[in-house]
Amino acid sequence: MAIETEFAELRPPADITRATAARRKGPSLYLIAIYGILVIAAFIALVPFLYVISTSFKDTISLFQYPPEWIPSEPTLDNFRGLLADYPFVRWMLNSFVVASAVTIVKVVIDSMAGYAFAKMTFPGKDALFLVVLMTLMVPFAATLIPLFIIVRDLNLTNTYAGLILPALASPIGIFMMRQFIETLPTDLENAARLDGCSEFQIFRRVILPLIRPGLVVLGVFTFMTQWTSYLWPLVIGTKTEMFTLTVGVQSLRSLFTVNWGILSAGAVLSMLPLVLVFLFLQRYFIAGSIAGALKE
């Protein structure tokens, strides 16, 4: 709901574009310059990807050609074959997928619950607890790395999915986001449900959750993305090769041997692919996820 309105806003207001067009007549120099800047920026954003994609299809000889070829003259799948044959790459991807999905599902459920409590309920200590949530936004994860590592190790959870998943559940940003979303809902709806005899939990299940579905997707996408790209925690907690997540695994392609650029680029391409595919389908939610909260500050 909130998201759709935000996205309506993401289109430039007609006034501004009209004003721009009115100020200069026709396809002006001004617009050409602006498009020029944008095209250059898009080019810079894209080139590194194209470079690494092109490298992943190169054989060992054309890899070091000077000047480098942009489109390999003899494209080969050897790098991908080597990667999948010599490394547990599929396992790494699966690990990342399991961890990211588990964190996402749990976070979406418990953060929307907490968000509902903070947005719509009154209880003693509410402000103090919310202040704690806000304060934890400022705690850098890296600072708790060492105590977390010791705790998780003493629980015998190193090299387990639980060890990878559990610490990621203590993140405040989702609570904050969900509170913002739920606050925008009119209180009348809950009151109507309450008069119809719904319990608080039923109101949450039947009234609130369906209404904030876009917000849930935003939080889900955001959480999944954060977990998929997470590196430091998986690096310290997964020491066995088969418990590496994708980021740790891809990184190990480099440090295990002397750099094999072909294999490395194939790993880089494959590690980006899932998120890019998800992005193509859920684009608006990705972007909304990154701006959620900020706008309503």
- Residues 1-30 binding other proteins (CB under 8 A) are 6, 9-13, 15-17, 19-21
Residue 215 amino acid letter: G
158 lines the binding site for other proteins (CB under 8 A): no
Contact criterion met (CB below 8 Å) for 169 and 226: no
The Cα angle at residue 87 between residues 83 and 91, in degrees rounded to 5: 110
- Residue 288 CB, nearest approach to other proteins (Å): 9
Please tell me the distance from the alpha carbon of residue 99 to that of residue 281, in angstroms, as a whole number.
21
204 lines the binding site for other proteins (CB under 8 A): yes
Q: How far is CA 285 from CA 120, 126, 183, 188, 251, in A?
A: 24, 30, 19, 27, 29
Q: How many CB atoms lie within 10 A of CB 35?
A: 11
Among 3, 99, 100, 166, binds other proteins (CB under 8 A): 166
Among 59, 78, 183, 200, binds other proteins (CB under 8 A): 200
Among 29, 138, 186, 188, binds other proteins (CB under 8 A): 138
Please tell me the distance from the alpha carbon of residue 184 to that of residue 204, in angstroms, as a whole number.
15
The span of 76-84, 110-118, 185-193, 209-217 binding other proteins (CB under 8 A) equals 110-118
Region 29-88 residues binding other proteins, contact defined as CB under 8 A: 31, 34-35, 37-38, 41-42, 44-49, 51-52, 55, 63-68
Among 121, 162, 189, 192, binds other proteins (CB under 8 A): 121
Q: Residue 113: which of 187, 198, 216, 188 has the closest Cα?
A: 216
Among 3, 93, 243, 275, binds other proteins (CB under 8 A): 275
146 lines the binding site for other proteins (CB under 8 A): yes
Number of residues that bind other proteins (CB under 8 A): 106
CA gyration radius, the chain: 24
Residue 293 amino acid letter: G
Region 253-272 residues binding other proteins, contact defined as CB under 8 A: 254, 259, 261, 264-265, 267-268, 271-272
- Tokens encoding 25: 């007549």
Among 73, 122, 210, 281, binds other proteins (CB under 8 A): 122
Region 216-255 residues binding other proteins, contact defined as CB under 8 A: 225, 228-229, 231-232, 236, 246-248, 250-251, 254
Q: Collect all residues with Cβ–Cβ distance below 8 Å to 179 and sequence separation of at least 6.
A: 114, 115, 118, 119, 130
